[in-house]
Structure 1
């Protein structure tokens, strides 16, 4: 296994691109990659929660893996693929293909319909997935608010370390900072625990985080880069101001359905990722206009992502 460098940076959890009719639009992936690279993003996390994982077919995920493998190489972006599924064999198929394509890591959340009833069962699922890509680093994706599976990550690390040779760490999407600190203590320097709740990044940095994976890093990476820099030099007033901007931004987007509205925002920035799929909702044009006004009031022109040039926006079918 080639070790993955710790994710001590902003990792953008990307949207899965769709045509207006909701069908997959893999030809948009190079535009996404160009946009993110131009805005300082070096690593992406694809087909996860932001990527509407549970609304994608297995074939569609494989198509996105292939599209991102090519676009990542072209634009100097490392690609982590989420392969989790309620079907373990689908997860293993996805993991194997990610490994064949040379993606830098895979990740999987817990099954959420038939939930693992014990920590040993959860580790067993992760071990089976990781074994399908024996040369690819593996991250467990802990997001109890969506999966309903909540085992202490520090205990997961202790048990999984002996059963998953490729274990690289945990994508920690759980706002419990006390649990995060316990997990960091258990991880030491052996495992990487990127933070996954954008609106509390500052609290996580104070607790020990050194990087994060999030959806808002698609369109506001400068905001968080400046926040991390302010924290690093001890300017807590500035770091708090920027985190407040983050919270206000997220509240404004969530007011009309976070994921659908976030995808509409990306379209306004020149990246046509299309609508969110049902059962998620999408905003009206008027609602997006109102959002853009609110973001402008919050200083989006100062800290938001720079739109792509018209030439870079070209999508080749």
Structure 2
């Protein structure tokens, strides 16, 4: 399979749920239009942000189809298919290929720990081969899976065994390992950054693409970081990154994904609550979160710049 490269900001999308907790795909199209309008260059569906692990296999298929249909080929759609059951993951991968998704990605099984690189490669080989016509990215997120294996070793062995292995979604903070993965075998693999608070550091290390939750609510802010970095204005890039850190720190005072869904509702997108065990914020918490975001200017600088009028 030829080299595949993602570019720019890829939003890890939320799954809209109704008041009763059911998947509500009617709200997918509006958020897709907003994200594309604000410069997002891809969507990552049913990952941690999208509560993939809290959805049934049938629900995950419904959500995947809704996002693929709403995007209409304008940007790449990546479907996260990881599951504790490899059979279910393989089924989800086949489905993603059948509905016209562009890429599959998967976490490793996490209830029974994946303790060595050979086992991890074997698991990912089974999943990736079920959608062999699509590029495959392993989703490395040790904070949630508990699998903190060496990703350089995974890529070396995976590159031999998995024919459609394109790279990694690297959701960790080890910039040194991230750089080593990027540069491995003459930049053979596409390694995509996954920690929003450290985007600027990742750019300096060589990142060309990043997948993140907060791109849903502040993509223009992150695009300004990229723009400033690309023209060498490091002072401005650091200033914008500091705003992103302030925003994330504010949201993280609360259960993160329920708070993010609350912020999306403040921006006009009804994504509902999160499923248990995550749940929802109280009305008092939502009010306090809004006030705290207003205090740091979030509702101004998270939006696209308004074009100046000339006469």
* TM-score, scaled to structure 1: 0.92
SS at match of 1:86: coil
Deviations 1:237-278 (A, max 9, x none): 111111111111011111121100100111111111100111
Deviation at 1:202, TM superposition (A): 1.1
| Residue 8 of structure 1: aligned partner | 7
The answer as to 2:179 corresponding to 1:176 is no
Deviations 1:135-182 (A, max 9, x none): 011000000111000111111110001111111110000101111122
Distance 1:104 1:187, change over 3 A: farther
* Aligned match for 2:244, one of 222, 228, 246: 246
CA–CA distance in 1 between the matches of 2:115 and 2:9? 33
Q: How does 1:211-226 map to 2 (within 5 A)?
A: 211-226=209-224
SS at match of 1:123: helix
The answer as to 2:300 corresponding to 1:266 is no
SS at match of 2:115: coil
RMSD over equivalenced CA pairs, Å:
1.5
| Residue 286 of structure 2: aligned partner | 288
State whether residues 9 and 209 of structure 2, in contact with CA within 8 Å, keep that contact through their aligned partners in structure 1.
yes
| Residue 313 of structure 1: aligned partner | none
CA–CA distance in 1 between the matches of 2:172 and 2:55? 24
Deviation at 1:50, TM superposition (A): 0.3
* TM-score, scaled to structure 2: 0.94
CA–CA distance in 1 between the matches of 2:100 and 2:3? 12
Q: How many corresponding residue pairs?
A: 304
| Residue 73 of structure 1: aligned partner | 72
| Residue 115 of structure 1: aligned partner | 113
Deviation at 1:55, TM superposition (A): 0.5
| Residue 208 of structure 1: aligned partner | 206
Greater than 6 Å deviation, 4+ residue runs: none
Q: How does 1:156-167 map to 2 (within 5 A)?
A: 156-167=154-165
* Aligned match for 2:141, one of 143, 146, 150: 143
Distance 1:187 1:169, change over 3 A: farther
CA–CA distance in 2 between the matches of 1:179 and 1:134? 27
Deviation at 1:70, TM superposition (A): 0.8
* Aligned match for 1:188, one of 183, 186, 192: 186
Deviation at 1:298, TM superposition (A): 2.2
Deviation at 1:207, TM superposition (A): 1.5
State whether residues 181 and 189 of structure 2, in contact with CA within 8 Å, keep that contact through their aligned partners in structure 1.
no
Deviation at 1:295, TM superposition (A): 2.0
The answer as to 2:59 corresponding to 1:60 is yes
State whether residues 3 and 188 of structure 2, in contact with CA within 8 Å, keep that contact through their aligned partners in structure 1.
no
- Ranges in structure 2 where 5+ consecutive residues have no aligned partner: 305-311
State whether residues 26 and 67 of structure 1, in contact with CA within 8 Å, keep that contact through their aligned partners in structure 2.
yes
